[in-house]
């Protein structure tokens, strides 16, 4: 088993355990997709995937940023800005159902959020501001910007507007948000694993100065990564807004940055930069999404939501720690020199 598969092992097992719990609680219908009257795939698990799409997009961007030893706290606010720009542009127009208008609104929102991401990147790469500080500014100010865009109201897009298809529609029976998330995941995975970009990212995260001296344009790469992260957050905001047909500047994507960081960590990417695991992040996102349904399915009250999340995250973090596994397994092993394999495993991973 190579290091990559080993990293994915524990998150996958946790996810399977969660799915098993749900199947026991509600039956196999949980995992089997059903087809809705409108020809769209439904069912509990498909719904989870569809609802997880915005978080996945943000977590993928976050993974790349974290690979460069950075962090982006502004994604939740950027989500709100993207949603606000798109919805406001659409409701300001006379005919909300015009296809061209929707395309323009989407393009405008994506351009703005990419620019915001690039701004974060410039702050970090060119002005040497710590990522947590640089992005904290927009995390705080961003919702204010979104409120300025919407004038403090919640703009509601007509259900007839094609914009809502982004969140509610389906292509070949599969919901559009799942398509978008899968396409972005595939594109980023190919870009970082089939080209040198992934290695350059890890190199920049490992040591930006050494990478620069080795001839890598580390600043350009850092800016690019934050730009992609902003773009992903904006796209997530569009899907969220299209799903509801409205943009809530205050609550849209609230605390999603924390869930995204959580997903990245569950997926096996270290916050210290360097090695990153896009597929692991995707599994982390599905774990978080499934967890929220599990709480309802097993009949726990809302008060349990945060506690249950904490317990699962603890479990994943502990299982991923070779020291912890060595410590737990030590009594089970016969010989006293048992910790040795654990250390070897640590070195390997």
Partner 1 sequence: MLKTPAFKQVLAGIGAGALLFGLTACGGGDDSGDGGGDGLVVGFAQVGAESAWRTANSASVQSAAEADERIAELKFVDAQQDQEKQIEAVRNFITQQVDVIVLAPVVETGWTDVLQEAADAGIPVVLADRGIEAADEDLYVTRLGSDFTEEGRKAGTWAAETFAADTDGTRILELQGTTGSAPANDRKAGFFEVLDAEGLDYEIVDSQSGNFTAEEGKAVMETFITTHGLEGVDLLYAHNDEMGLGAIQAIEEAGFTPGTDIQIIIVDGSKAGFQAGVDGKLNYIVECNPVFGEQLMDVVVQVADGETVEKFTPVEEGAFDATQFEAELPNRQF
Contact residues for partner 1, defined by CB under 8 A? 26, 29-30, 36-38, 40, 42-44, 47, 51, 123, 126-129, 133-134, 137, 140-141, 143-144, 147, 152-154, 156, 168, 240, 243-246, 248, 250-252, 292-293, 296-297, 299, 301-303, 305
Contact 237, 145 (CB under 8 A): no
**Given the complex with partner 1, which of 8 and 157 has the nearer CB atom?**
157
**Given the complex with partner 1, which of 8 and 204 has the nearer CB atom?**
204
Give the residue carrying structure tokens 């089997």.
Answer: 32
As measured in angstroms, the least distance from the Cβ of 266 to partner 1 is 20
As measured in angstroms, the least distance from the Cβ of 47 to partner 1 is 5
Closest CA to 265 of 24, 1, 2, 14: 14
Radius of gyration of the chain (CA): 21
**Given the complex with partner 1, which of 242 and 342 has the nearer CB atom?**
242
In whole angstroms, what is the distance from residue 54 CA to residue 92 CA?
25
**Given the complex with partner 1, which of 36 and 321 has the nearer CB atom?**
36
Where would I find the H helices in 245-321? 256-266, 278-297, 305-320
Give the residue carrying structure tokens 């910790």.
Answer: 339
**Given the complex with partner 1, which of 148 and 340 has the nearer CB atom?**
148
In whole angstroms, what is the distance from residue 182 CA to residue 46 CA?
13
Q: Is 177 exposed, middle or buried (0-12, 13-18, 19+ CB in 10 A)?
A: buried
**Given the complex with partner 1, which of 37 and 337 has the nearer CB atom?**
37
As measured in angstroms, the least distance from the Cβ of 314 to partner 1 is 21
What element of type H or E holds 170? strand 170-171
Please report how many Cα atoms fall inside a 13 Å half-sphere around the Cα of residue 113, on the Cβ side: 35
As measured in angstroms, the least distance from the Cβ of 154 to partner 1 is 6
């Amino acid at each position: 088993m190579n290091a990559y598969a080993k990293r994915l092992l524990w998150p996958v097992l946790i996810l399977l355990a969660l799915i098993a719990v749900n199947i026991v609680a509600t039956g196999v219908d949980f995992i089997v997709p059903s087809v809705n009257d409108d020809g769209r795939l439904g069912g509990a698990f498909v719904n989870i995937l569809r609802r997880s799409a915005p978080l996945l997009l943000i977590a993928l961007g976050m993974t790349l940023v974290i690979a460069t030893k950075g962090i982006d706290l502004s994604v939740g606010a950027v989500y709100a800005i993207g949603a606000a720009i798109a919805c406001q542009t659409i409701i300001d127009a006379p005919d909300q159902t015009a296809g061209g208008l929707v395309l323009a609104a989407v393009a405008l929102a994506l351009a703005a959020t990419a620019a915001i991401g690039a701004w974060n990147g410039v702050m970090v790469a060119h002005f040497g501001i710590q990522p947590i500080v640089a992005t904290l500014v927009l995390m705080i100010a961003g919702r204010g910007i979104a409120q300025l865009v919407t004038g403090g109201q919640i703009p509601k897009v007509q259900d007839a507007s094609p914009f809502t298809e982004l969140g509610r529609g389906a292509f070949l029976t599969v919901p559009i948000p799942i398509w978008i998330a899968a396409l972005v995941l595939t594109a980023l995975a190919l870009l970082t694993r089939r080209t040198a970009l992934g290695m350059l990212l890890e190199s920049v995260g490992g040591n930006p100065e050494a990478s620069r001296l080795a001839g890598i344009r580390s600043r350009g790469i850092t800016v690019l990564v934050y730009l992609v992260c902003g773009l992903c957050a904006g796209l997530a905001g569009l899907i969220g807004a299209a799903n509801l047909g409205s943009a809530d500047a205050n609550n849209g994507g609230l605390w999603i940055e924390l869930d995204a960081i959580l997903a990245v960590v569950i997926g096996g990417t270290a916050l210290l930069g360097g090695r990153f695991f896009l597929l692991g992040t995707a599994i982390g996102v599905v774990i978080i999404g499934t967890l929220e349904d599990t709480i309802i399915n097993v009949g726990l009250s809302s008060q349990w939501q945060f506690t249950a999340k904490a317990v699962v995250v603890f479990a994943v973090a502990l299982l991923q720690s070779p020291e912890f596994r060595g410590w737990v397994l030590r009594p089970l092993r016969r010989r006293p020199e048992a910790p040795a394999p654990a250390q070897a495993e640590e070195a390997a991973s």
